[in-house]
């Protein structure tokens, strides 16, 4: 008689799935993702192309019903519901008074509604650190606790979990089985910009690699080209010749932003990427050695996406604004993997062995190859 424990399949529905960063990380950890939902049509290709067998639903979660949600899970699976709602309403870059009451603000309410109505076994979400300052977040936590969940949340730095980028995020885990949390990082050494970008071929500003259309850098004006050539990795516009300094930086208020028009340090993790990481004037997004800002592919790699992750169909037009939004708003893949590993360990501890759609993959150095964007 076989006395080994019955293997339990863990399945997840990824609300607000975006381009698939969280889904990729969860699959890497051994969790079977059965569906991704997002209203943005630009998410359809990257999500479906990179996750064959996972259904993508382009729809508004406010129209989603609990009975639909339940049908996507297998009958005997451990059901995980992930809801990484758009972070803009909670970001320090947003005017909170202008966003309160908007549709985006209410998305966390919708997530709470679906949790309450569908009763998943485990719930997870990721958002900006400042989400914890808002009453809607605490109402969400209270809803979970009142429904019988053990709830944990904390602010973590994704660089501690293998991401080559300093990126602080609020992570929440909740379970009906017992206490659950994201374990402290096991990483010994943080990965750096050089670790993940140095193998990519050089490209000039305003051009793209012939082997990868996504390895494309935005065009610099003659003035900004002179500025980046005058910049050192980790330096500041304060070191430039006076004629290159922007008028706004000559004012007292402008002196508070030394990282704008800065180059990254090659031997450190990247600074936090925004949706405009491809713009030299949008932050410290200058390449450490080449006279340009980050390419779209480099931004995706710094968000943990594999080097061959497809964001556009073959021959698709590269729109910096659209792709910058998809990449900059993504849940970092490394954080998604850490969340998935925590869930797998938690289920193993409470229910025994687990099975999923994918075995955990070791991180390997990948050489660039010709890929669709």
Residue 369 has a pLDDT of 44
Ranges of residues in the chain with a pLDDT under 50 are 1-5, 89-102, 357-370
- CB-based contacts of 241, cutoff 8 Å, min separation 6: 230
The reply to whether 54 falls in a domain is yes
Residues with catalytic function: 87
Nearest to 169, CA basis, from 107, 134, 126: 126
Q: Give the domain range for residue 49.
A: 8-190+331-355
Q: The CATH number of the domain where 181 resides is what?
A: 3.40.50.150
Residue 329 has a pLDDT of 96
- CB-based contacts of 314, cutoff 8 Å, min separation 6: 372
Residue 187 has a pLDDT of 66
155: tokens are: 């602010």
The reply to whether 151 falls in a domain is yes
The reply to whether 199 falls in a domain is no
Q: Is the dihedral of CA 88, 93, 96, 99 positive or negative?
A: negative
The reply to whether 261 falls in a domain is no
Number of domains the chain contains: 1
The reply to whether 73 falls in a domain is yes
0.75 exceeded by the pTM?
yes
Q: State the pairing for strand pair 32-38/55-58.
A: parallel
The reply to whether 219 falls in a domain is no
Q: Which H or E run includes 112?
A: helix 107-118
Which ranges constitute the DSSP H helices of the chain? 21-29, 44-50, 66-72, 96-99, 107-118, 135-146, 193-197, 222-229, 247-250, 296-302, 320-328, 333-351
The reply to whether 123 falls in a domain is yes
145: tokens are: 């606790």
Nearest to 340, CA basis, from 17, 8, 25, 14: 25
Q: Which H or E run includes 69?
A: helix 66-72
């Amino acid at each position: 008689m076989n006395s080994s424990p019955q293997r339990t399949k863990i399945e997840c529905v990824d609300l607000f799935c975006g381009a698939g960063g969280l889904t990729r990380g969860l699959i890497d950890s051994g969790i079977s993702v059965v569906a991704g939902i997002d209203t943005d049509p630009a998410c359809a290709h990257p999500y479906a192309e990179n996750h064959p067998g996972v259904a993508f639903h382009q729809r508004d979660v406010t129209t989603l019903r609990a009975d639909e949600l339940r049908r996507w899970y297998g009958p005997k699976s451990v059901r995980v519901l992930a809801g990484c709602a758009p972070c803009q309403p909670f970001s320090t870059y947003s005017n909170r008074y202008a966003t309160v009451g908007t549709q985006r603000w209410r998305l966390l309410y919708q997530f709470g509604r679906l949790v309450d109505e569908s009763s998943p076994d485990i719930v997870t979400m990721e958002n900006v650190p400042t989400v914890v300052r808002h009453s809607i977040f605490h109402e969400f936590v209270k809803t979970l606790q009142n429904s019988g969940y053990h709830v944990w949340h904390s602010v973590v730095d994704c660089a501690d979990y293998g991401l080559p980028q300093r990126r602080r995020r609020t992570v929440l885990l909740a379970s009906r089985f017992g206490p659950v949390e994201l374990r402290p990082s096991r990483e010994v050494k943080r990965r750096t910009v050089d670790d993940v970008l140095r193998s990519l071929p050089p490209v000039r500003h305003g051009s793209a690699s012939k082997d990868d259309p996504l390895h494309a850098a935005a065009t610099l004006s003659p003035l900004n080209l002179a500025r980046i050539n005058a910049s050192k990795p980790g330096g500041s516009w304060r070191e430039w010749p006076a004629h290159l300094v922007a008028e706004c930086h000559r004012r007292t208020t402008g002196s508070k932003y030394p990282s704008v028009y800065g180059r990254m340090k090659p031997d450190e993790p990247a600074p936090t990427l925004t949706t405009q990481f491809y713009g030299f004037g949008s932050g410290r997004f200058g390449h450490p050695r080449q006279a340009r800002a980050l390419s779209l592919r480099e931004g995706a790699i710094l968000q943990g996406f594999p080097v061959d992750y497809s964001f556009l169909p073959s021959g698709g037009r590269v729109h910096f604004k659209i792709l910058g939004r998809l990449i900059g708003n993504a849940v970092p893949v490394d954080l998604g993997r850490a969340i998935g590993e925590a869930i797998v360990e938690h289920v193993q501890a409470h229910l025994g062995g687990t099975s999923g759609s994918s075995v955990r993959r070791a991180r390997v150095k990948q050489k660039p190859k010709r890929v669709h964007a």
